[in-house]
Structure 1
Amino acid sequence: MPRTQVTGRTGPRRALTVLLPLLLATGTPLSVGVPASAAEPGAVRLPVMPSRLAAGASCTSASHEVATATPWEQRSLELPKVWPSGSGAGVKVAVVDTGVSQQARALAGRVTAVGGATADQDCVGHGSFVAGLIAAAPVKGVHFAGVAQQAAILAVRGTDDRGVATDTTVAGGIRAAVDAGARIIEVSPALADRSRTLTAAVSYAAGHDALIVAAAVPDATTTTMSTDTPPRSYWPADEAGVLSVVAVDAEGQAPQGSPAPRHADLAAPGAGVIGIGPGGTGHFIGSGASLAAGYVAGMAALVRAADPELTAAETANRLTTTAYPADVPRLDPYAALTSVPDTATHGEKPAEEAVRLPEQHTDAGTTRRALLVAGGGGALLLLVVWASAVVPRGRARGWRAAARNRPTGTS
């Protein structure tokens, strides 16, 4: 499927998505404001969250900058309307990425390291950023927060300590997440080649009713931003049963430099989004399909917490069928969480009900009008029948009254 394209105005936000791939590679701080502009007085300069580190590069340190304004992505998804209806409590969400640090204060007390991950280390910081999009708790004075703010996070290492992934590391991360009881598994890496190891891991998750939400394409880097390649598949996103996600910016367009997927199930904010780092209370800014997958994974956690009997496949179906129509349907959290569950999907037989008029015709005024019309029609029919019998007889008698008890033979 071609990349999402929605016609809209260009401007500072569009310029932001053009620059992000380069900034991701260099780690250059980016000024964030509304509108986003490096020259705007009072704008907050946030460091960029990398998706991987060069050999020998230092680990990502804590940010000292705090974004206090409401991020565009939270406004776009209308998350404040969703939060009163769900928190994700009781659902385990695994993040198969660079690890998730327990030093991230917005996730304090809710991170458990499994597989090859360590409890206090995420050198790259990317996994902690994604986990924050999924489940960061609100902080006083800061409008950023995760989607499912009480969900439990499973930190799963799906890469090496530099952020480089292989089919073996990703497959091992998926299996470790399943064994730890994850109901939602976010997978950030998007690999160019399919493998039996990865396919088997995806099947293992499906067999345990765990929903995999995966980036449909790799996050943009300096090597992908100048490459104009035709749409293609990436894994595990292209495996059957995986919910594949692409990123869009504030104008609903795919970020510049992002590869185009052959197929994607959902689109979500993933260009110039704000999130947490591996430590401290400061914020970073990032871009990529992996971040969009984080938003979708958080929403999947809310849906499964609200309706625990939904299977992984039914949860994916809820998210896709309630999405905004587009080339790639856009995630609609409020519709997904508030839509009436279809009991038939659980194999239950709907209760029989008395026959009734469709809802749009059952108001009192319409019902009275229908009864009056029906009654009037019946009376008219009786009148026609009576006339068809009486009128011919009247004409035959010259409209004289009928004789009563006249003796036979009397003149």
Structure 2
Amino acid sequence: MAHSADGGAHNRTASRPADGTGRRAGSHRDAPSRGRPGRTAATAACCLAFLSPGPAAAAPTPSATGSSAAISLPVIPTVLNGDECTGGSGRVAELVPWAQQHLGLNRVWQLSRGEGVTVGVVDTGLATRAGDFAHDVGGSAAGRDCVGHGTFVAGLIAGAPRPGSGFSGVAPGARVLAERGTDTAGEADARLTARGIRAAVAGGASVVHVSAALPRRSAELTEAVRDALARDVLVVAPAVPDAPPPAFGGQSPAPEAYWPAAVEGVLAVAPHGADGSRPQEVTPAGARLSAPGYGVTGRGPAGKGHFVGNGASVAAAFVAGTAALIRAYDPDLTASEVAGRLHRTGYPADPPWLDPYAALTATPADASAGGRTPPGVLLPRAEKSDGSLGRALALTAAGAGAVLALAGAAALVRRRRSAA
């Protein structure tokens, strides 16, 4: 996880379709297209705040209905700026947040809710409260999260819906396994991240979300990721840090690759806002997908209220949740095939936008990954006709002709009477 930066809050008007539809199913559209960036169906105010020093800084979150109304939520930090843990939020997002609408989750849940899949969350830990998740939370970091970022990310992946709020995670039926990849203040390093990945895999996770984006390669971290991939575990990580790199002036430029996202086989994710854009400073290298990452509503480590989060680690949470939906919907797919399907079915952009419904319903364009043959489409068997249909159609046509003839005769009689 990247260090926090006092970047302030940047408000930007954004637009997305209000109902979250317009997704692709394979190579065909089965609903009206959701607008490309700049094409509006409704307007919402989007927070492009990077990371504030603490949860006291409030930022607007987009309206859940596409109207101009918005609520102000505290920003979830990635690292603590002092000794005090992140407190709770007293502000509840009562309606469905823009990111969930953007992903069309109500439509997706008709097919899968992620049941039977365990998602590892390697972050700052996880504070648990009754009703937050459909299943008991496991892992060595469960019940401890002073920063709150791990709790926020886990909620985006598998948070259960609550009465009085429109918020829900992508895969509310999935189980979360929390492992720490940082120290208690939220500072990440390669050793802690590698240990967290290994613990999540050992705990039975088939999808692992990692929030860290480290600027230097580590042999220990690379080996942990490769071991996870070898065990058919999909690793999802941010392609860039949550906070933009500082201005370097005449010094060396910011790194173009971050770990573990740069390890071959990891599904690297970039963030975008409600209008599809991202700050110029955030230029992902090697990202295979883009997902909602700015002005995202989620839960914090305490209280019943909500926070707003920003960055690629937030976007990666949506991808990890979608991967859980796919692994529950089609358990025969390998981790590599799930990653390929997510990439191929993304909404056309650079990188493609995450499209959960298309990923669940589309047949892969090729069978190159793992040698799988795409399943065919079963059509109804053609039955031999006994002529009854033709006779029925002939009788119907004859009846219609008789009705028309009688109507014409009656009209002729009326005209003659009128003339007389």
Measure, in 2, the Cα distance between the counterparts of 1:102 and 1:331: 28
| Superposition map of 1:11-26 within 5 A | 16-17=47-48, 20-21=49-50, 23=52
How far off its partner does 1:271 sit? 0.2
Q: Paired residue for 1:251?
A: 275
Cα distance, 1:53–1:349 mapped onto 2, change above 3 Å = closer
How far off its partner does 1:71 sit? 0.9
Question: Could you tell me which of 197, 210, 220 is aligned with 2:233?
Answer: 210
Runs of 5+ unmatched residues, structure 1:
1-5, 354-358, 363-411
Cα distance, 1:24–1:55 mapped onto 2, change above 3 Å = closer
Per-residue CA distance 1:297-337 (angstroms, 9 max, x = gap)? 00000000011111110110111111111110110000001
| Other structure's SS at 2:122 match | strand
| More displaced 10-residue stretch of structure 1: 248-257 or 260-269 | 248-257
Question: Could you tell me which of 61, 64, 81 is aligned with 2:90?
Answer: 64
Question: Could you tell me which of 330, 352, 357 is aligned with 2:353?
Answer: 330
Cα distance, 1:200–1:8 mapped onto 2, change above 3 Å = same
Measure, in 2, the Cα distance between the counterparts of 1:25 and 1:62: 12
Measure, in 2, the Cα distance between the counterparts of 1:30 and 1:311: 40
Q: Paired residue for 2:183?
A: 160
Runs of 5+ unmatched residues, structure 2:
1-35, 383-420
Is the contact between residue 105 and residue 279 of structure 1 (CA under 8 Å) also seen in structure 2?
no
Is the contact between residue 137 and residue 175 of structure 2 (CA under 8 Å) also seen in structure 1?
yes
Measure, in 1, the Cα distance between the counterparts of 2:373 and 2:345: 23
Q: Paired residue for 1:46?
A: 73
Cα distance, 1:314–1:144 mapped onto 2, change above 3 Å = same
Identity of aligned residues (%): 48
| Other structure's SS at 2:139 match | strand
Does residue 145 of the first structure (1) align with residue 172 of the second (2)? Answer: no
Q: Paired residue for 1:201?
A: 224
How far off its partner does 1:347 sit? 4.6
Measure, in 2, the Cα distance between the counterparts of 1:332 and 1:129: 22
Is the contact between residue 46 and residue 273 of structure 2 (CA under 8 Å) also seen in structure 1?
no
| Other structure's SS at 2:298 match | strand
Cα distance, 1:287–1:225 mapped onto 2, change above 3 Å = farther
* Bigger share in helix: 1
Measure, in 2, the Cα distance between the counterparts of 1:60 and 1:158: 18
Cα distance, 1:263–1:271 mapped onto 2, change above 3 Å = same
| Superposition map of 1:5-404 within 5 A | 8=38, 16-17=47-48, 20-21=49-50, 23=52, 27-32=56-61, 34=63, 43-56=70-83, 58-103=84-129, 105-107=131-133, 109-114=135-140, 117=141, 119-220=142-243, 224=245, 226=247, 229=253, 232-255=256-279, 257=281, 259-340=282-363, 347=371
| Other structure's SS at 1:251 match | coil
Q: What letter matches 1:107 in structure 2?
A: F
Cα distance, 1:104–1:65 mapped onto 2, change above 3 Å = farther
How far off its partner does 1:227 sit? 5.5
How far off its partner does 1:268 sit? 0.1
How far off its partner does 1:101 sit? 1.4
Measure, in 2, the Cα distance between the counterparts of 1:73 and 1:15: 11
Measure, in 1, the Cα distance between the counterparts of 2:77 and 2:241: 13
Aligned length: 339
How far off its partner does 1:23 sit? 3.4
Is the contact between residue 127 and residue 143 of structure 2 (CA under 8 Å) also seen in structure 1?
yes
How far off its partner does 1:349 sit? 6.5
Is the contact between residue 248 and residue 254 of structure 2 (CA under 8 Å) also seen in structure 1?
no
The structure whose Rg is larger is: 1
Q: Paired residue for 1:385?
A: none
Measure, in 2, the Cα distance between the counterparts of 1:158 and 1:316: 23
Cα distance, 1:305–1:156 mapped onto 2, change above 3 Å = same
How far off its partner does 1:16 sit? 2.5
Q: What letter matches 2:268 in structure 1?
A: S
